[in-house]
Amino acid sequence: MSAVLSRSSEFCVVARRNCSMSPRALLLFFLVTAVLSLIVATSWALAGAWWVLPFAGVEVGALGCAFIAFGRRVGDYERIHLDDNVLLVEVCERNRVSRQEFVPSWTKIEMRRVGPGSEVVVRCRDREVVVGRYLDERNRELLVRELSSRLQQRRF
């Protein structure tokens, strides 16, 4: 879920949405289902019962749409990259990437409680970005602790 890669000068966290099946495997699953379903429907159509075919077509289409709709979420990720000069926060949701850059020495990172849960906020003056969607509570705390201490170091 999260890959922490840290060298002394650089710090990078990438957190991805949990997805237990690769898009390739999902595509394969879809193709097998679609081919089987259409073979069956075509056989019935050839036997004279052609009404099965449009229903099978609509259904395979529905399954495809469902997988595409879900697949658009699969690539979601958050990337937090800190080097000597800049803190880069990159959030990708449904294939749309938004990037924000912060000056490390002016930036704070903190945990905010929301209802029964929490979120992580990166704030610089009046700009703020919410991250940590794909991390669990413990990893969020870990992220806040690690990043804060590194931002602190930049300050001095």
Partner 1 sequence: MAAIPGGADHAHDHGHDHHPGGIMRWVTTTNHKDIGSMYLWFSFAMFIVGGIMALVIRAELFQPGLQVVDPDRFNQMTTLHGLIMVFGAIMPAFVGFANWMIPLMIGASDMAFARMNNWSFWLLPPAAILLTTSLLVPGGAAASGWTLYPPLTVQMGIGMDMAIFAVHILGISSIMGSINIVTTILNMRAPGMTLMKMPLFCWTWLITAYLVIAVMPVLAGAVTMILTDRHFGTSFFNAAGGGDPVLYQHIFWFFGHPEVYIIAIPAFGVVSQVIPAFSRKPLFGYASMVYATSSIAILSFIVWAHHMYTVGMPVAGQLYFMFATMLIAVPTGVKVFNWVATMWRGSLSFETPMLFSIGFLFLFTLGGFSGLVLSMTAVDVQLHDSYYVVAHFHYVMVAGALFSAYAGAYYWLPKWTGHMYDEKLGKLHFWLSIIFFNMTFFVQHFLGLAGMPRRIPDYSLQFAEFNMISSIGAFGFGLSQLVFLVVVLKCLKGGEKAPAKPWDGAEGLEWTVPSPAPHHTFETPPVLK
Question: Any contact of residue 4 with partner 1 (CB under 8 A)?
Answer: no
Question: Any contact of residue 35 with partner 1 (CB under 8 A)?
Answer: no
Question: Any contact of residue 90 with partner 1 (CB under 8 A)?
Answer: no
Residue 126, amino acid: D
C-alpha dihedral sign at 52, 57, 60, 65 = negative
Pick from 12, 27, 42, 67: which binds partner 1 (CB under 8 A)?
67
Residue 100, amino acid: Q
Q: In angstroms, rounded to a whole number, what is the distance separating the alpha carbons of residues 52 and 128?
A: 54
C-alpha dihedral sign at 43, 46, 52, 53 = positive
- Residues forming contacts to partner 1 in the complex (CB under 8 A) are 1, 18-21, 25-26, 29, 33, 36-37, 40-41, 44, 47-49, 51-56, 58-59, 62-63, 66-67, 69-70, 74, 114-119, 130, 132-138
